[in-house]
Chain A
Amino acid sequence: MFFVFLASGLFLGWSLGANDAANVFGTAVGTRMVKFRTAAIACSIFVVLGAVVGGAGTSHTLGKLGAVNALAGSFTVALAAGLTVAWMTRLRLPVSTSQAIVGAIVGWNLFSGSLTDMESLTQILSSWILCPILAGVFAVGLLKLTQLFFRFARFHLFTIDSGTRLGLLVVGAFASYSLGANNIANVMGVFVPSSPLGDLHIMGLFKLSGDQQLFFLGAIAIGVGVFTYSKKVMLTVGNDLFRLSPIAALIVVLAQAIVLFLFSSEQLENLLASNGLPTLPLVPVSSSQAVIGAVVGVGLAKGGRNIKWGVLGRIASGWVSTPLIAGLISFVCLYFVQNVFSQKVHSPIPYEFSHQAAMKLRGLNTYGDELDELIGKRFKSAVEFQDAVGQIVESESLANGVVELSELHPLLVDVEALAPQLDYHWYSKEQVHAVFRLHGRRFDYAWQLADALASISDSWRLKPSTKKNKLYNKGIKAKLQHLNGLFLTNLAPPN
């Protein structure tokens, strides 16, 4: 059944391959510098590599935006995004898969009564502004460097031509890798929470996690999209906005690849964080936006006279309409899938403000006793609970804190049954000991398990929130999330 539902994700992957591959190799193929066949093969191979090796980072952010927790819901969300992309492509409107999937997930949040994580949404929205600007800045820098290089270097026109071809292929491969790493979350991210796939050991040589297998399937779909439909798009892309020379095309693709890489590389984030430097959020950005930012950068650096601002305006309007349309289609499709096809599109997450939650809030010195009237009442959805809280407290941050603490996530620590699934290379000895000491304990909330573990062992304690500690805390939170998934049990009936 899972693979039937996965079909919509594969469809979305196909449309991503058909569209976004054009951003990577469009100018190279459009100017006949690289043959379509060569471009398609290089693009497919490196998209798969990027997706499997580096696809995890951005899928976490999408997961935080809205954890689509039922398979039919994931199917519908991916279908809505895929339909939006395919429809807008048919209308010859520029479209971004990242924006379509974010719109579709927010549509699911609205339909299921789940809260949209504003921090993730803000991160994603700001990255959509930052991404084209960064790409533009990189493109201008690279252009200046190239101009400087050619001021001193002497190459024959034909040698430059061959070098540019090689460059377009190499940079295109890097851009494909970055596209796979950054955008695979768009295609498969919504299936991660509901995926039944376990680890797969291949001839004892290497291991593919369940997520990586999903990403591999999605990347194959992207590859099929590249081979079957991207040629037409590639041949029309590139010259719409600003006519590019092959070297300028190379600069544009490189700028795009660097930006996609910056927004998806966990290794780079680790490196920056461990040196106390600010990090970029790992979010799926749009390769179309990156390319357009880079093209406009190059155009402006050359005086800006030849940029077709009308075309740019049309493209920018697509950036606003895509998420809105995808959100709307997602909402309508979810309604039909749930009510006409009787499929479960979301698993309700109940909320209850208990004595424990109240005590925890008091411990944090953020709460008096104004919410006591809510104690013991159970709410069916986050939105319903938030409304109730909002009527009592005025402070938005307090209300958000209350909602976060009240999300019921019943856990039963069953070490014996679950020990084989614990990754001993990931967890430290002390951490495993602490988990074992909690064997048999039940918790109503995820934060209770975190607190219990932190009280037993320092190895589970979060450090003060600083740039240097960001990486350490991220690791602890990822392990806690893993345990929350492993120990999830049935909910006790309301009091």
Chain B
Amino acid sequence: MEIPFGQAKEIESQVDAFLDAIVKTALVLKEGVRAYLHARPEDFENRIKAVTYLEHQADDLRRQTKIALYAHSLIPESRGDVLGLLEHMDDIADEAKAILRDIEVQSPEIPADLAELFLEVTDKSVEAVDNVVLAARCYFRDPKKISAYINKVDFFESETDRAGLMLRKKIFRSDIDLARKLHLRYFADLLESLSDIAQNVAERLTIATIKREV
């Protein structure tokens, strides 16, 4: 029988769990960066474990959803959009894990006077991710409300850029040597990139929502 109301419910739960995992990876990233900056190595270790677990979970859920969509020929018209959306959102989890891993491996030395700005960039970037996940939930359940969240994603992406610019200026105006400056700039870029991915997903969501109109 091809009226898969039961399967639809199951996939709805999968997609919800996937979005939960994405938003959690961003929040764990935020706490991980905070733990590193505040020199709490044990806490930082736990955050790396958590983000790795969540990233795996997001991957699994995305894969299962993809298989189910093809196996049961669900949402044939929106399938490409939805799978593209999930893949790009998965990039957020990948990026969050990569950032914490890079911090762990490269252990950047962050001067105390830059810590606050690093935290601000992280917070704004994570806010952008938080809002793009809310927008994605709207795409699935209530497309009319999506534009409010898309606007917030744009806002927080700009805020991240603004904070990132200030951070880079402060890095390059400081007295540390150039190699360290470049190293710190690399991490500033990494943290900013999260909001760029969020904005990219938001643009896809806008187009996909127009295509969903009756």
Instruction: Tell me which of B74, B139, B212, B214 contacts A146 (CB under 8 A).
Output: B214
A248 at the interface (CB under 8 A from B): yes
With A158-B12, A248-B214 in contact, do A32 and B73 touch (Cβ < 8 Å)? yes
Cβ contact within 8 Å between A246 and B141: no
Interface string of B1-21 (1 = CB under 8 A from A): 011110011011001000000
Complex contact B82–A165 (CB within 8 A): no
Q: Is B189 an interface residue (CB 8 A)?
A: no
Residue in A156, A158, A165, A245 with the greatest tally of chain B CB atoms within 10 Å:
A158
| A157-B140 contact, Cβ under 8 Å, with A32-B73, A33-B76 | yes
Q: Is A166 in contact with chain B by the CB < 8 A criterion?
A: yes
Judge whether A395 is part of the interface by a CB distance below 8 angstroms: no
Q: Does any Cβ of B come within 8 Å of A147's Cβ?
A: yes
Residue from B2, B142, B144, B214 within 8 A of A38 (CB atoms) = B2
A33-B76, A246-B77 known; A159-B214 Cβ under 8 A:
no
Question: Which bucket holds chain B's interface residue count?
Answer: 20 to 34
Measured CA separation A162–B8 after assembly (Å): 7
Contact of A157 among B3, B4, B139 (CB under 8 A): B139
Q: Knowing A34-B2, A162-B3, A165-B3, say if A157 contacts B78 (CB, 8 Å).
A: yes
Given that A35-B2, A156-B140 are known contacts, is A161 also in contact with B214, CB under 8 Å in the complex? Answer: no
CB pair A147–B214 under 8 Å, yes or no, is: yes
Q: Chain B contacts of A165 at CB under 8 A?
A: 2-4
B166 proximal to A (CB < 8 A): no
B182 lies within 8 A of chain A by Cβ: no
Residue A361 CB within 8 A of the other chain: no
A150 within 8 A of B: yes
A162 touches B78 (CB 8 A): no
**Chain A interface, number of residues (Cβ within 8 angstroms):** 26
Question: B75 on the interface (CB 8 Å rule)?
Answer: yes
Within the assembled complex, what's the spacing in Å between the Cα atoms of A150 and B212?
11
| Docked pose: A31 CA to B3 CA in angstroms | 15
Question: Inside 8 A of A33's CB, which chain B residues have their CB?
Answer: 73, 76
Q: Output the least CB separation between A414 and chain B (Å).
A: 58
Q: How far is the CB of B177 from chain A (nearest CB, A)?
A: 53
Does A151 make an interface contact (CB < 8 A)?
yes
Which listed residue (A34, A147, A159, A246) contacts B8, Cβ 8 A? A159
**Closest chain A residue, CB of each to CB of B142:** A154
Q: Looking across the interface, which residue of chain B has its beta carbon closest to that of A250?
A: B214
B77 touches A156 (CB 8 A): no
How many interface contacts (CB-CB < 8 Å) are there between A and B?
59
| Distance of A246 Cα from B142 Cα, bound (Å) | 18
Please encode chain A, from 256 to 284, with 1 for each CB lying within 8 Å of some chain B CB and 0 for all others: 00000000000000000000000000000
Q: Is A133 an interface residue (CB 8 A)?
A: no
**B3 pairs with A169, CB closer than 8 A:** yes
Least distance between B139 CB and chain A CB atoms (Å): 7
Distance in angstroms between the alpha carbons of A156 and B139 in the assembled complex: 9
A151 to B, closest residue via Cβ: B144
Mark interface residues in B124-148 (1 if CB within 8 Å of A CB, else 0). Answer: 0000000000000001111010000
Select the residue from B73, B76, B144, B214 with max chain A CB neighbours within 10 A.
B214
CB pair B77 A245 closer than 8 Å: yes
Is B144 within 8 A of A32, CB to CB? no
Contacts of B141 in A (CB 8 A): 154-157
Interchain CA distance A247-B76 in the complex, whole Å: 12
Given contact pairs A31-B76, A143-B214, A245-B214, A158 touches B8 in the complex (Cβ within 8 A): yes
Cα distance, A248 to B12, chains bound together (Å): 23
> Which A residues are CB-close (under 8 A) to B144?
151
What 1/0 mask marks residues of chain A from 345 to 389 whose CB sits below 8 Å from any chain B CB?
000000000000000000000000000000000000000000000
**Contact A158 to B11, CB < 8 A, known contacts A32-B73, A246-B77, A247-B214:** yes
- Which residue of chain B has the shortest Cβ distance to A157 in the bound complex? B140
User: What residue of chain B has the Cβ atom nearest to residue A35's Cβ?
Assistant: B2
Q: How far, in angstroms, from A169 to B141 measured CA to CA in the complex?
A: 24
Give the distance in Å from the alpha carbon of A162 to the alpha carbon of B164 in the complex.
45
Shortest B49–chain A CB gap in Å is 33
Complex contact B75–A158 (CB within 8 A)? yes
- Interface residues in A375-420 by Cβ distance below 8 A to B read none
The reply to whether B76 and A157 contact each other, CB–CB distance below 8 Å, is no
Q: Bound state CA distance, A227 and B9, in angstroms?
A: 33
**Smallest Cβ distance from B4 to chain A, in angstroms?**
6
- Known contacts A154-B142, A158-B12, A166 near B214 by CB under 8 Å: no
Contact between B78 and A159, CB atoms less than 8 A apart: no
Question: In the complex, what distance in Å separates the CA atom of A158 from the CA atom of B4?
Answer: 9
Given contacts A147-B214, A248-B214, contact A159 B5 (CB under 8 A): yes
Query: Which A-chain residue is minimally distant from B2 (CB atoms)?
Result: A35
17 extra interchain contacts, Cβ-Cβ under 8 A, other than A34-B2, A162-B3? Answer: A32-B76, A147-B214, A154-B142, A156-B8, A156-B141, A157-B78, A157-B140, A158-B74, A159-B8, A159-B12, A165-B2, A165-B3, A169-B3, A245-B212, A245-B214, A246-B76, A247-B214
List 8 tightest A-B contacts by C-beta distance, closest first: A158-B8, A162-B8, A32-B76, A161-B75, A166-B3, A157-B140, A162-B5, A32-B73
**A interface residue numbers (CB < 8 A to B):** 31-35, 38, 143, 146-147, 150-151, 154-159, 161-162, 165-166, 169, 245-248
